[in-house]
Structure 1
Amino acid sequence: MSPASHPNGEVTLPCSTGHGNGHHGAAVPATSAAKLRREQRADGPACVLAVGTANPANCIPQDEFADWYFRVTKSDHLTDLKEKMKKTCEQVQVKKRYFQVTDELLSAHPELLDPSLPSIDARLQAVASALPELAAAAAAKAIAEWDRPASDITHLVVSTSSGAQIPGIDVRVASLLGLRPAVRRTMIYFQGCTGAAAALRVAKDAAENSRGARVLAVCADVLSTMAFHSPADDDDGEGAVAHAIFGDGAGAVVVGADPDALAGEERHVFEMVSASQATIPGTERLVTGDFGSAGLGYNLAPMEVPVLVAGNIEKVLAGAVAPLAGIVEEGTGWNSLFWVVHPGSPMILKSYEKVLGLEPGKLAASRTVLGEYGNMIGPTVIFVLDEVLRRRRKEGEDGGEGCEWGLLVGLGPGFTAEALPLAAKNLARESAAGVLPTLALSYN
Structure 2
Amino acid sequence: MVTVEEVRKAQRAEGPATVLAIGTATPPNCVDQATYPDYYFRITNSEHKVELKEKFQRMCDKSMIKKRYMYLTEDILKENPTMCEYMAPSLDARQDMVVVEIPKLGKEAATKAIKEWGQPKSKITHLVFCTTSGVDMPGADYQLTKLLGLRPSVKRLMMYQQGCFAGGTVLRLAKDLAENNRGARVLVVCSEITAVTFRGPNDTHLDSLVGPGLIWVMVQQLLLWVRTQFPRSRAPCLKW
TM-score range, shorter chain: over 0.9
Match of 1:362 in 2: none
TM-superposed CA distance for 1:30, in Å, is: 4.0
Give the equivalent residue in structure 2 for 1:167: 138
Which consecutive residues of structure 1, in runs of 5 or more, have no partner in the other structure? 1-28, 262-266, 274-420, 422-444
Pick one of 76, 101, 106 that aligns with 2:77.
Answer: 106
TM-score (norm 2): 0.93
1:256 corresponds, among 220, 226, 233, to 226
Per-residue displacement from partner, 1:31-80 (whole Å, max 9, x unpaired)? 3x543322221011110111111110011001110111111111111111
Match of 1:205 in 2: 176
Letter in 1 for 2:184: A
- What is the CA deviation profile of residues 400-433 of structure 1, one whole-angstrom value per residue up to 9, with x for unaligned ones? xxxxxxxxxxxxxxxxxxxxx2xxxxxxxxxxxx
Q: Is the 8 A contact 1:42 1:258 kept in 2?
A: no
Q: What corresponds to 1:232 in structure 2? A: 202
Matching residue's letter, 2:223: V
Q: Could you tell me which amino acid in structure 1 is paired with residue 226 of structure 2?
A: G
1:75 to 2:41 alignment: no
Hey, what does 2:9 align to over in structure 1? 38
**Aligned equivalent of 2:238, options 247, 269, 272:** 272
Tell me the CA shift for residue 155 of structure 1: 0.2
Distance 1:185 1:260 in 2: 26
Give the TM-score of the pair, scaled to structure 1: 0.51
Q: How many Å separate the matches in 2 of 1:241 and 1:116? A: 17
**C-alpha distance in 1 between matches for 2:52 and 2:171:** 40
* Bigger-Rg structure (1/2): 1
The aligned runs of 1:56-71 (5 Å cut-off) are 56-71=27-42
Q: What secondary structure, in the 3-state scheme, does the structure 2 residue paired with 1:217 have?
A: strand
Matched-pair contact (CA < 8 Å) for 2:185–2:225:
yes
Specify whether residues 268 and 122 from structure 1 end up closer, same or farther in structure 2 by C-alpha distance, changes over 3 A only.
Answer: farther
AA partner of residue 257 (structure 1):
R
Higher RCO (Cα < 8 Å, 6 or more apart): 2
Amino acid at match of 2:159: I
Q: Percent identity?
A: 42
1:143 paired residue number? 114
Q: Tell me, yes or no, if the aligned pair for 1:214 and 1:256 is still in contact at 8 Å.
A: yes
Q: What is the identity, as a one-letter code, of the residue corresponding to 1:120? A: L
| Contact map agreement 1:131 1:221 (CA 8 A) in 2 | yes
Give 5+ residue unaligned stretches, structure 2. none
Taking the aligned partners of 1:259 and 1:53, their CA distance within structure 2 comes to 25
Deviations 1:281-327 (A, max 9, x none): xxxxxxxxxxxxxxxxxxxxxxxxxxxxxxxxxxxxxxxxxxxxxxx
Secondary structure of 1:234's aligned partner? coil
- Which residue of the other structure, out of 104, 114, 123, is the alignment partner of 2:94? 123
Tell me how far apart the structure 2 counterparts of residues 105 and 268 of structure 1 sit (CA, whole Å). 46
CA RMSD of aligned residues (A): 1.6
- 2:229 maps to a residue whose letter is P
Structure (1/2) with the larger helix percentage = 2
Q: 1:268 to 1:190 in 2, by over 3 A?
A: farther
Pair 1:216-2:182 in alignment? no
2:228–2:235 contact (8 Å) kept in structure 1 = no
State the alpha-carbon separation in 1 of the partners of residues 235 and 61 from structure 2: 39
Paired with 1:166 and 1:252, the residues of 2 have a C-alpha distance of 22
CA shift for structure 1 position 209: 1.1
Note the alpha carbon deviations across 1:341-364, whole angstroms, 9 max, x for none: xxxxxxxxxxxxxxxxxxxxxxxx
